[in-house]
Structure 1
Amino acid sequence: MRAIKEELGDNEDDEDDLVALERKMQKAGMPPNVWKHAHRELRRLKKMQPQQPGYNSSRVYLDLLADLPWQKASEEIEMDLRAAQKRLDSDHYGLVKVKQRIIEYLAVRKLKPDARGPVLCFVGPPGVGKTSLASSIAAALGRKFIRISLGGVKDEADIRGHRRTYVGSMPGRLIDGLKVKLHFINFDNCT
């Protein structure tokens, strides 16, 4: 099959495509452990024929890895609790206990930024201010705010992504949010 393709000249497009993918992966700035895994997958992909069942799945996976913002992180600014309190008070009337809990959470984060503690979770019916509170927190911290809606999700694979062995595998909503929307995030200090 390969000899026939070479004689017809069809093989060149696939090779150019994979070389472009490899360049894109190199420019992504992946961490060494991820790069090692991705490079091994790319070598495997180069040996495969485009008609093979796993070719497209591997190709989409490598393209996704190359699109993720590996080296892009938000700038760390000094956390000012008074400014955060002022921002919350200006954006939201009432909600005293909620705002107090948020400031307590931020104070703990300021004292121990590397702590792997709880995550704030806002629960309530639509229209009570969950999203706007999160937006105010992001603004007070100088972070970019992205809303990822999980409404209508019936399966955990929709959130975290499908296994690559699954025929219609797709990344989860979180990874899609990273790839498409978030270009400045620091995973070490996510709030």
Structure 2
Amino acid sequence: MKNFILFLFFISTTCFSQDVKEKIAKETCECTSKLDTASMNGSDLELNFGLCMLESYNKHINEFTDNEKLDFENNAQMEKFGEEIALKMLTICPDMILKLGDGYKNEDTVSDDLTIEGVFNGTKAETFFNVIIKEESGKTTKLILLDYFDNAYLIQDKLIKNNQTVKVTYYEAKLFDSKTNSFVVTKILTNIIQK
């Protein structure tokens, strides 16, 4: 009898978890349907897909058990979760998943990375984690630390000090800002080098 009760508990928590993931897939479909996908490359599309998915996940975070909650530093777990949601989206909005795949097939292999040189002016946690660079001209530029790159540890472990000269590379993406209900051109940090 005890084993039967444990079995029922396991089945009910698995089904419950699946229901939450169905909700997240549906809300991610709704969010991505508002995107101007025609003007986005594969990277921008994947980035915005991820942001839509995480926005929905955050709405439903309390519906997950502690061992099911995402560890944002665990890339394998994040990737697996994204794949599960994308699979569920195939039945709800298959066109969006196909666009995600097509975006990568059609993307040029030429890098669109831009560079800035200046002094490191600290970091600031806002909607995203910002890295602030003051250029020689006096202009202050905020870049978002969003994806992993080899030198990210320099920021993560606070190895770069204020007023230290750095060179950063980045690309621009239009991210959906839910506060203003509009797309905002944002600089996404791809590398930082100490000078």
**TM-score, reference length from structure 1:** 0.27
- Larger strand share, 1 or 2: 2
Higher RCO, Cα 8 Å, sep 6+: 1
**Structure richer in helix, relative to its length:** 1
